[in-house]
Structure 1
Amino acid sequence: MADEMLSKYNNYWFNSEEDNYGMLFSFALILDPRCKLSLLSFCYEHLCGNEVAALKITEAQYKLSKFYKEYTPESHVHQHTSPASSIGVNMQNTLSRTKQYDKQELMANSIGRSQLEVYLEDPKLNRTAELDILNFWKENEHRYGALSHLARDILTVPLTTFASESTFGMEVEF
């Protein structure tokens, strides 16, 4: 029965060249501020060996970086056109300048590095500490900006859409 369960597990999680589930879990682990790349690297090394682990880590970093670029403000053109009074226009201009200031401050603080690079270079939190990860990203949105939105989107993806009992259930024939 254990062999059959392992076979079903492997077919479900590792059934394609793309390994999208594994990549999603890699992203989730990287975006856990207690783990980042070090725990992912440790796991891959023990599962696949050092050479394959290095390739998988590089691939995960590349794909996460590519995915992160989809969340950056530069990749989206926000056009909001609505009739506004002169007071509304002035308020929009002020908010626009404030956003520009915030962006300049963020860039100055990160010295041209992306928010993802800043996050990965920041020290990890204590791995054994209890942490509400979604709350961490909400509280650190000012520091990580678009990365916090990406993290919250990834970390809220359900693990599965069907009951595990149906996958690992024992079929009894009489």
Structure 2
Amino acid sequence: MTSEMREKYNKYWGEGNKINMLVYLAVIFDPRCKMSFLDFGVNLFFPNIANDIMKMIDKDLHCLFNEYSSNAGKIELFEGRSSSSTNLCNLMEIDQPEMKSELDRYLGEDEEVNNSSSFDLLLWWKMNSPRFPILTQMARDVIAIPISTVVSESTFSTGGRVLDSFRSSLTPLMVEALVYIQDWLRKSNDAINLEDYVDELQTMEDDLSKIPKDQ
């Protein structure tokens, strides 16, 4: 089991230049970290190839930003801000450099000093979207990507945990109710003692037994 775990680890995290680039970008889009924290972490875990990794990250970050910037320009044109070829040239020559500097301004600012566990990353980007409209779109898309497939795989496995060879005739409504109850029980902060509900369950069972079978 340990060997299999190690093999899985090496597949995704063993080499810094093979890690999904979005993992690095998510760190940059945290205003408390940005490039300085990422550079520290990369040098700590991959000291031999840290410089190459940071160059790769910087290149991909600017390429992604340019892609978002060009799409934002197309949306502005589509919405009617400009339609002539002359205005299109003006947009590309005047507005585009201003949008490119948005990334440099964000990276050039000091990191946010807030180590509180209640820090809301998405709220920060929402509040700063007027200053960084393009980066806000990028952060929204990148941060929304799950860091692991465990959650999605667990969701698809829920059906197998509820339906088995002994409960294969449950109706969809009953399966949905069981899934909801399972989530509520797991989310509860207080320990659940079934003995506290015995009387209530017995009352419900007695009421059901009084209903005529033909109904």
TM-score by length of 2: 0.55
- Off by >3 Å, runs of 4+ in structure 1: 12-15, 73-76, 78-81, 162-166
Q: Which has the higher contact order (CA 8 A, sep 6+)?
A: 1
CA distance in 1, matches of 2:40, 2:17: 21
Give 1:114's aligned residue: 101
Give 2:131's aligned residue: 143
The Cα shift of 1:48 comes to 1.4
The Cα shift of 1:42 comes to 1.0
Contact 2:12 2:19 in 1 (8 A): no
Relative distance call for 1:10 and 1:165 in structure 2 (3 A) is farther
The Cα shift of 1:18 comes to 6.5
Relative distance call for 1:58 and 1:10 in structure 2 (3 A) is same
Give 1:97's aligned residue: none
> What does the per-residue CA deviation read over 1:152-173, in whole Å, with 9 as the maximum and x for residues that have no partner?
100000123346999xxxxxxx
C-alpha RMSD of matched pairs (Å)? 3.4
Unaligned stretches of 5+ in structure 1? 82-88, 94-99, 167-174
2:61 aligned to which of 38, 54, 64: 64
Contact 1:35 1:127 in 2 (8 A): no
Give 2:23's aligned residue: 25
Is 1:77 paired with 2:74? yes
Give 1:123's aligned residue: 110
TM-score by length of 1: 0.66
Letter in 1 for 2:40: F
2:51 aligned to which of 54, 74, 78: 54
Contact 2:65 2:100 in 1 (8 A): no
User: Percent identity at matched positions?
Assistant: 30
- How many residues are paired up? 141
The Cα shift of 1:75 comes to 6.2
Relative distance call for 1:80 and 1:60 in structure 2 (3 A) is closer
